[in-house]
Amino acid sequence: MKALFAVAMSAAILTAPWAGATDELGTRLREVQSRLLAMGDRVISEEQWSALMRDLADLVGRARAAGADGIAVEAIAAQARAWGDLRRAPAQAAALARAGRAEFAGHNRPELRQLYLIEAEMLARLGDADGIRRVMSAYKASPVYDPPPFAYTATPDPKPVVAMVRPRAPQTESPVLLAMQKYLEQALAAPGGRMPDFLLVDIDGLRYSNGSIQGRVVLLDFWVAGSVPWERELPMRIRAREKFAAQGFEILGVCQNLDADGIRAHVAARPGMTWPQVEGRTARDLIVRLGIPGENASFLLDRQGRIRGRNLQGAELIEAVARILAESP
């Protein structure tokens, strides 16, 4: 999430139309945004958090008073982003973004697109697909729908996945809506929901579906060969499988960038990685429905096929598997 926070804040700084301005408010906003970038890489104290919130609230107030709507909107976006990424409070972040876009409803300010995107992103973290649909409808009805060129990066950790810089396009190809569609897909696969129906065939010809895995706790692991973060988590996956396989835990891997021969060679070089593997090209429909093309993602499913965790790392995975296995079948 820290990488997500940093890239999103960078995009806001670089794309703001007043970014080169020398006025006091613009300079002050850039200073606060720089602080936010730095805070995204380390733990901050309560004193630092309080000072940040005071400075942002002061900046919003001064920008409103001066009629500097673009700066006010960007400062509100920074408040929402801070709550979402520094405090891990997506509900609060979404509420701030929603209130900000309501305040400036009817304004044709390009900065407002950040608020729509932030609200959709935070709702995705909450698994609120209906909320995202409402944001998308509101965006399509707003004055800022599909305006002149706009750049935005949707960046699930660890690296950018969706980077769009387009000239004016038909409304059906709005880059903002495309980004929100990605968040909608993420919400549909959020913890608490059910994994979409699938039929996967592994590289040995064995078939797996929602029905065939019921009764087992399964980690559906979408991975990209060559990914350092995935390699870092591999020992914990091996440990989890060795520890819990006899109790009904299994991993089903889906490699997104190797063919069957490449997967076999990759697995052979990593002792302990003995679970079934699927070629990503044969699972393309599911990958797209989950909104994860080209990126690492994992979904922990309980015995009923419900998603109980997403992208669990380290000891979190071990603890979650043990907890779900201990539940009554």
Q: What is the pLDDT of residues 130-143, one digit of tens each?
A: 899 899 999 999 99
Q: What is the pLDDT of residues 151-170, one digit of tens each?
A: 444 444 444 334 444 444 44
Query: Does CATH place domain 2-188 in 3.30.360?
Result: no
Q: Token pair 């990424």 is at which residue?
A: 85
Q: What Rg, from alpha-carbon coordinates, does the chain have?
A: 22
The structure's pTM equals 0.56
Q: Please say if the pLDDT value at position 32 is more than 80.
A: yes
CA 247-253-259 angle, to 5 degrees, is 150
Across the range 193-222, mean pLDDT stands at: 94
Q: Where in the chain is the domain with CATH 3.40.30.10?
A: 199-326
Q: Tell me the C-alpha distance between 63 and 26, whole Å.
A: 9
Q: Where in the chain is the domain with CATH 1.25.40?
A: 2-188
What letter would DSSP give residue 258? -
Q: Which of 116, 107, 32, 19 is nearest to 64 (CA)?
A: 107
Higher per-residue pLDDT: 125 or 165: 125
Helix (H) or strand (E) holding 279: strand 277-279
pLDDT band at 173 (very low <50, low <70, confident <90, very high): low
Tell me the CATH architecture of domain 199-326.
3-Layer(aba) Sandwich (3.40)
